[in-house]
Copies of this chain bind each other. A is one copy, B any other.
Amino acid sequence: MYMAKVVGSVVATQKDDSLIGRKLMIVQPIDSDRKPIRTEEVAADTVGAGVGELVLLVRGAGARKTQREGVRNKDVVDSAIVGIIDRFDK
């Protein structure tokens, strides 16, 4: 899993059916000192995250496990926001 900051969203009218109605957020991976690392990605929000919030990302098949079995089988998503970070304990 990865820590990231939500920096915006992507609007795409022409897209795969499985993306219809999904909030596609632009996320900037960060470390626990909140410094940006690697490069921006897009993740499907599943917990109501907003711009500016620090979030937890998963990639790959895990990103589709948030959906019901049937829907999951046609879901193209490969990155999802699965938590909103309250704080880092270090």
**Chain A residues within 8 Å of B, Cβ to Cβ:** 1-3, 7-16, 18-19, 24, 26, 29, 31-32, 37-44, 46-48, 51, 56, 58-66, 69, 73-80, 82-90
Contacts and interface: CB of A to CB of B under 8 A. Distances in A.
A83 B41 contact: no
Contacts of A19: 56, 82-83
A8 B32 contact: yes
A29 B88 CA distance: 18
Quick one: copies of this chain in the complex?
5
A56 B32 CA distance: 20
Given A10-B85, A29-B39, A62-B75, 11 more contacts: A1-B44, A1-B77, A2-B42, A12-B86, A16-B66, A16-B82, A42-B56, A60-B60, A60-B78, A63-B78, A65-B74
A53 to B, nearest CB: 9
A40 B37 contact: yes
